[in-house]
Amino acid sequence: MSIPSELDSLYNFEDDIYSTPPLRKRRRTNSHRVDSSNACSELARKKLMQILYDRENSDVTVTVGPKNKEYYLHRVVICPSSAFFKTALKPERFKEGYTGKVNLPEMKPDTFDVIARYMYSAELTVTPAYGDNIIDIYEGAGFLQIPELQEAIFKTLTEFLSTHMKDLRKSQRKELLSFFIKFCDCCSKSDLGKLARCAEFLFVEFDMTPEDFLTEFETKEPGYLFMAAVMAAGQNLRHTN
* Summary mean pLDDT of the chain: 77
Q: Which helix (H) or strand (E) holds 71?
A: strand 69-73
Asked whether residue 31 is assigned to any structural domain, the reply reads no
Domain edge (last residue) among 108, 123, 138: 123
What DSSP designation does 190 have?
Answer: G
Domain edge (last residue) among 99, 123, 147: 123
216 falls in which pLDDT band (50, 70, 90)?
low
Query: Domain check: are 86 and 193 in the same one?
Result: no
Average pLDDT over every residue of 10-33: 42
SS3 track for 153-196: HHHHHHHHHHHCHHHCCHHHHHHHHHHHHHHHHCCCHHHHHHHH
Asked whether residue 150 is assigned to any structural domain, the reply reads yes
pLDDT score of 13: 35
153 falls in which pLDDT band (50, 70, 90)?
very high
- pTM for this entry: 0.74
Query: Domain check: are 60 and 114 in the same one?
Result: yes
Query: Domain check: are 145 and 202 in the same one?
Result: yes
Q: With 90 as the cut, is the pLDDT of residue 36 above it?
A: no
Q: With 60 as the cut, is the pLDDT of residue 10 above it?
A: no
Domain edge (last residue) among 57, 90, 123: 123
pLDDT score of 34: 42
Asked whether residue 11 is assigned to any structural domain, the reply reads no
Asked whether residue 156 is assigned to any structural domain, the reply reads yes
Query: Domain check: are 119 and 147 in the same one?
Result: no
Query: Domain check: are 99 and 150 in the same one?
Result: no
What's 95's domain CATH number? 3.30.710.10
pLDDT score of 4: 42
Into how many domains does the chain fold? Answer: 2
Range of the domain at 224: 125-240
Q: CA-to-CA distance for 39 and 52, rounded, in angstroms?
A: 20
Average pLDDT over every residue of 42-47: 64
